Chain A
């Protein structure tokens, strides 16, 4: 099991809260997203695969095949719209 510090921003924060610490068997960013989706509402809707969701691992933009590590910080959020 790996402990991951999950954060959510923007519309995902409104749906899921600011974040949570979670023990997971997921090995990658994408596997953790699927694990959350499998929990059902409200995760399944907020993180559903048809929706564009981006991730940052330890505060760097990340692809879904990136491996998780003990105590890592993983953020999920919609496409960015600054500037």
Chain B
């Protein structure tokens, strides 16, 4: 079995990752994947609500080596327990990224689409508020750490998980 979680500075290939996820598994009838990308603007937040849009020139992603992998492995275990899925894969990049570049991949395989869609969203909601990554944006006004969004906590709460990020 190949790795379920990879943290890397290099870009990833969505097609290759999906092919590896379902390779040789004849039970698979559905694969759902999500790719998060770097936008050239970001909402400046106050108490979690957008107040203004700013230009983003680049993004620097920091993480907590060791804990990051363990936290995401635990999230995949939770997804496998909760949903009728066969496999899941998470790739998250760290380091310097430019607008339009890929940041994160979540891919899930199952027999039917419903479970893959749900598990993919569950994993992203979980990762957003519980995996130790931090984004720093470089803008014309200087570099600034991105604020956490209250809406991300609400997204995780939909799954019955009351784990705050504040």
Interface residues of A (CB under 8 A from B): 7, 9-11, 13, 52, 54, 56, 59-61, 75, 77-83
Given A10-B62, A56-B132, A61-B163 in contact, is the A82-B92 Cβ separation under 8 Å?
A: yes
Which residues of A lie under 8 Å from residue B92 when comparing CB positions? 82-83
Cβ of B154 under 8 Å from chain A: no
- Assuming the contacts A7-B64, A59-B67, A59-B70, asked whether A80 and B136 have C-beta atoms less than 8 A apart, the reply is no
Q: Are B166 and A10 in contact (CB under 8 A)?
A: no
Assess whether B165 is in contact with A75, with CB atoms less than 8 Å apart: no
Q: Which residues of B contact A9 (CB under 8 A)?
A: 62, 64, 132, 134
Q: Is B30 an interface residue (CB 8 A)?
A: no
Instruction: Give the shortest distance, in Å, between A81 (CB) and chain B (any CB).
Output: 4
Residues of B within 8 A of A52 (CB): 148, 166
- Which of B67, B127, B128, B148 meets A75, CB within 8 Å? B67
- Known: A61-B163, A77-B132. Is A82-B104 also a contact (CB below 8 A)? yes
| Chain B nearest Cβ from A33, distance in angstroms | 15
Given contacts A77-B132, A83-B36, A83-B92, 5 further A-B contacts (CB under 8 A): A59-B64, A61-B163, A78-B148, A79-B165, A80-B131
A-B contact pairs, 16 of them (CB 8 A): A7-B64, A9-B134, A11-B145, A52-B166, A59-B71, A60-B71, A75-B67, A75-B132, A79-B165, A80-B130, A82-B63, A82-B104, A82-B127, A82-B131, A82-B133, A83-B127
B20 interface contact, C-beta 8 A: no
Interface check B110, CB cutoff 8 A: no
What residue in chain A is nearest B166 (Cβ atoms)? A52
Looking across the interface, which residue of chain A has its beta carbon closest to that of B74? A60
| B146 part of interface (Cβ distance < 8 Å) | yes
| A82 & B124 in contact (Cβ 8 Å cutoff) | no
Number of interface residues of B (CB under 8 A): 30
Chain B nearest CB, measured from A65 CB (Å): 15
CA distance A56 to B66 in the complex (A): 12
Identify the closest chain A residue to B69 (Cβ). A59
Q: Please give the distance in Å from A16's CB to the nearest CB on chain B.
A: 14
On whether the beta carbons of A10 and B103 are closer than 8 Å, the reply is no
Within 8 A of A (CB), among B49-67: 61-64, 66-67
Residues in A neighbouring B146, C-beta threshold 8 A: 81
Q: Which residue of B lies closest to A9 (CB)?
A: B64
- Name B166's contact: one of A11, A13, A79, A82 (CB within 8 Å): A79
